[in-house]
């Protein structure tokens, strides 16, 4: 494998991970991994965690 092929593979994997992280997952109660991260680290803009979860569920 040459450097260009490795770069292409890395780019493809990065795109797939970004897509997965933004997709709602049934195993996460239809929240995305990014939503779960934001909940765990308190990185949501809504007034409360409940508002954040309700807004996330309305996206579906």
Structure token pair of residue 27? 């195993």
Quick one: pLDDT at residue 29?
A: 80
For residue 1, what pLDDT is reported?
Answer: 81
Nearest-CA neighbor of 21 among 31, 11, 12, 29?
31
pLDDT at 13 > cutoff 90 = yes
- Give exposure, 40-58, as e/b (b: 16+ Cβ within 10 Å): eeeebeeeeeeebbeebee
DSSP 50: H
Nearest C-alpha neighbor of 36 from the set 18, 19, 22, 51: 22
Q: What are the tens digits of pLDDT across the range 20-59?
A: 888 888 877 888 888 788 778 776 666 676 777 777 777 6
């Amino acid at each position: 494998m040459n450097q260009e092929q490795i770069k292409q593979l890395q780019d493809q994997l990065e795109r797939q991970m970004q897509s997965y992280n933004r997709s709602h997952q049934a195993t996460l109660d239809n929240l995305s991994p990014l939503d779960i991260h934001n909940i765990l680290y308190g990185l949501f803009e809504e007034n409360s965690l409940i508002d954040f979860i309700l807004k996330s569920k309305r996206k579906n």
